[in-house]
């Protein structure tokens, strides 16, 4: 069975629905006259060109058939998170987005599985929503790698992660709201440079803060885009931990020793990078992830793994076996 654990959806949100949350920042969808292509807008500004597989579950199933996928896990486009909004509005918004995610997957619930989004700016509300959506069939939850200036080692976020572990709800951490100044404004540099850095920042905030010692060993947590830059720079982190006391003051063990508690997806787009990723993380900790249906995603989903020099048993795990265990699919 081939399972893609990282793909996105965006519902048919009107401009009025977005404005009810926040006219300046909330996203909405403008579908073209042909009903096949459109754009995500923020206020009056186009944010991203998209096509019907993003908002139409039946169209998504057609792409699954074309790509030879058995199951695809879908989650919100991160611009939908609404972490900066007042909790009363944000809680209602997240509930609505999660219900729309269920509607999207209703095209075939056996092949389309959905992750929830939560109002992570309010931990009680976020935990409540995780418990609600579990009863509705969501197979996990997607969160951003930070909420404003709070990283994943924030005590409230740790409480949330432990709640997810208790509910047996796996977590996908997706970078968003990326760091950057005017030097990042062209050539999608925020997506090409800042996104991998944000992912590493999120993971290291858990490791170097000592938070991994306080997280339940039952927590299943996956970092998108191959873990960003973390797997490739963990040697630098270990070296710093070994030789600088200010790096190891809160982290009792060698940073790389915590990698066996993390999962990553395979969205690295380079055969040598994939082989290194599997060697560093272990073949049980990497799962097929495409980032579909966006242009920066894998266009022939799974081809990087299938065409790699990995052993057949490892390919089988990464293409679906690991995901079936992670999400209990």
C-alpha atoms less than 13 angstroms from C-alpha of 64 in its C-beta half-sphere: 26
- Total residue length of the chain: 329
105-158, pLDDT tens digit by residue? 999 999 999 999 999 999 999 999 999 999 999 999 999 999 999 999 999 999
Distance CA 284, CA 222 (A): 12
Strands 71-76 and 112-116: parallel
pTM above 0.85, yes or no: yes
Q: State how far Cα 317 lies from the chain centre.
A: 20
Rounded CA-CA distance 215/229 in Å is 23
Apex CA 79: angle with CA 234 and CA 26, to 5°? Answer: 155
Q: What is the pLDDT of residues 12-47, one digit of tens each?
A: 999 999 999 999 999 999 999 898 999 999 998 999
Sign of the Cα torsion 230, 233, 237, 242 reads positive
- Dihedral Cα 324, 157, 132, 29, nearest 10 deg: -80
Per-residue model confidence as pLDDT tens digits over 192-206? 999 999 999 999 999
CA 224 to chain CA centroid, Å, is 5
* 181 band by pLDDT with thresholds 50, 70 and 90: confident
Q: Closest by alpha carbon to 170, among 263, 54, 268?
A: 263
Residue 177 above 90 pLDDT? Answer: no
Assigned CATH for 3-9+56-326: 3.20.20.140
């Amino acid at each position: 069975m081939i399972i893609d654990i990282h793909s996105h959806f965006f519902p048919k949100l009107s401009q009025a629905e977005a404005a009810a949350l926040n006219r300046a920042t909330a996203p909405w969808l403008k579908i073209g006259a042909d009903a096949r292509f459109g754009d995500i807008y923020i206020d009056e500004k186009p944010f991203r060109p998209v096509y019907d597989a993003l908002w139409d579950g039946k169209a998504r199933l057609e792409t699954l058939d074309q790509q030879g996928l058995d199951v695809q896990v879908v989650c919100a486009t991160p611009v939908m998170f609404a972490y900066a909004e007042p909790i009363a509005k944000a809680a209602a918004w997240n509930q609505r987005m999660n219900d729309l995610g269920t509607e999207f997957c209703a095209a075939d619930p056996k092949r389309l599985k959905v992750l929830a989004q939560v109002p992570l700016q309010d931990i009680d509300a976020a935990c409540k929503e995780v418990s609600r959506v579990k009863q509705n069939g969501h197979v996990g939850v997607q969160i951003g790698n930070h909420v404003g200036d709070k990283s994943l080692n924030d005590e409230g976020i740790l409480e949330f992660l432990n709640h997810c572990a208790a509910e047996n709800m796996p977590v996908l951490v997706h970078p968003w709201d990326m760091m950057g100044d005017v030097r990042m404004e062209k050539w999608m540099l925020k997506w090409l440079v800042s996104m991998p850095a944000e992912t590493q920042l999120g993971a290291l905030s858990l490791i170097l803060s000592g938070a991994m010692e306080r997280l339940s060993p039952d927590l299943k947590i996956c970092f998108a885009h191959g873990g960003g830059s973390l797997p490739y720079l963990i040697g630098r982190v270990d070296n710093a931990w070994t030789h600088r006391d200010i790096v190891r003051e809160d982290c009792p063990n060698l940073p790389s020793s915590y990698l066996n508690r993390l999962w990553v997806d395979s969205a690295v787009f380079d055969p040598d990078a994939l082989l290194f990723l599997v060697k560093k993380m272990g073949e049980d900790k990497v799962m097929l992830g495409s980032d579909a249906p966006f242009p920066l995603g894998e266009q022939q989903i799974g081809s990087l793994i299938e065409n790699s020099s990995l052993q057949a048993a490892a390919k089988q795990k990464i293409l679906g076996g690991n995901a079936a265990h992670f999400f209990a699919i």
